[in-house]
Amino acid sequence: MKHEFKKILIAVDASENAKRAVSYVGEIVSDGRGFRITLLYVLRRVERDLFPDESTWMEKIEKEKKSATKMLERLKGLLVEKGLDAKDVTHELIEISDFSIAQAIMDFQEKGGYGTVVIGRRGMSKAEEFLFGSISNKIVHYAKNCAVWVIE
């Protein structure tokens, strides 16, 4: 598949960094033509082990889904505010049970032929990176056939 650099995938979550990344892309591309942007929210199902029962767990997942959908709408609004045409901005929420969010983002990028991937990065200490891993670092290391913009 051909990867078009004007086809931009912004991976977002509920953080401020994601908002910053979206805002940055809005500033950069709003005057240009031919850009198509997809906002992608990968929702990893919170582990069932963290909850005493099925219903509290499902409640939590539903709550996260709702909040992710709202967040995507808000971020789309932000891009439109910056001057992008609403028809050029789409959003996707995908739910995974696998461990790796980075892998899900890269799979989506590959499948959709996105030539640019944008991700926000929060300041993380070395210890945090060791213990919990970093989505943005993983994407920088393993992404293929695309440019990666990491917004800090």
Binding interface with another protein (CB under 8 A): 46-50, 52, 99-102, 125-135, 138
Q: Closest CB to another protein among 5 and 99?
A: 99
Q: Retrieve residue 79's tokens.
A: 């891009």
CA-closest candidate to residue 144, choices 110, 112, 111: 110
Q: What gap in Å lies between CA 129 and CA 135, rounded to an integer?
A: 9
Least CB distance to another protein at residue 131 (A): 4
Compute the least distance from the CB of residue 110 to another protein, in Å. 18
Closer CB to another protein, 65 or 138, in the complex: 138
Q: Nearer Cβ to another protein, position 113 or 133? A: 133
**How far is CA 45 from its chain centroid?**
15
Residues comprising the chain, all counted: 152
Between CA 144 and CA 111 the distance in angstroms is 12
> Residue 39 Cβ, how far from another protein at the closest point, in Å?
20
